Structure 1
Amino acid sequence: MNLEQRVTDLETQLAFQDDTIAALNDVLTAQQRDVERLQLQMTALLKRQEEMAGQFGVFEEDAPPPHY
């Protein structure tokens, strides 16, 4: 295998690696957006739960067992 062929093979591998890195970056960016969205939703749900617990006055953990 001559030097020119080896360089061509390396350039081809580099091009595929660049494409793979770009694809992985796109997936990672989308996942990060999903995680941030889910964190906001979780925060909103926790706030809503606290508000509702305040209206009813008792958390489920504080309620007496059903046999009382």
Structure 2
Amino acid sequence: MDGLEARIVELEIQTALQEDLIGSLNDTVAKMQQTLDLQQAQLRLLYQRIQDRSPGAEAGAHQPADDVPPHY
């Protein structure tokens, strides 16, 4: 029975370590999701600000004169 008991103890240890690892990975994924959500919100805000600044950009009305440097 000692061999069987040792195997059971080893399996319990492995299970405990795996549960700890899964918890740690879950925390990491949750933090990454929060970061991604924040970045998406920031990107939406920047996109909206760009749209608000250039009303003609929505229709694709690009003027080549806008690209001319000021010294010309």
Q: TM-score range by the shorter chain?
A: 0.7 to 0.9
**What is the aligned partner in structure 1 of residue 29 from structure 2?**
28
Q: Does 1:63 align with 2:51?
A: no
CA deviation string 1:6-45 (max 9, x = no partner): 0000000000000000000000000000000011000000
Gaps of 5+ in 2: none
User: Percent identity among equivalent residues?
Assistant: 32
TM-score by length of 1: 0.82
Structure 1 or 2, whichever has the larger Rg, is: 2
TM-score by length of 2: 0.77
> Structure 2 CA distance, aligned partners of 1:58 and 1:12?
61
**What is the aligned partner in structure 2 of residue 15 from structure 1?**
16
Gaps of 5+ in 1: none
Runs of 4+ in 1 over 2 A off after TM superposition: none
Q: Which amino acid aligns with 1:63?
A: Q
How many equivalent residue pairs? 64
Cα distance, 1:63 vs. partner?
A: 3.1
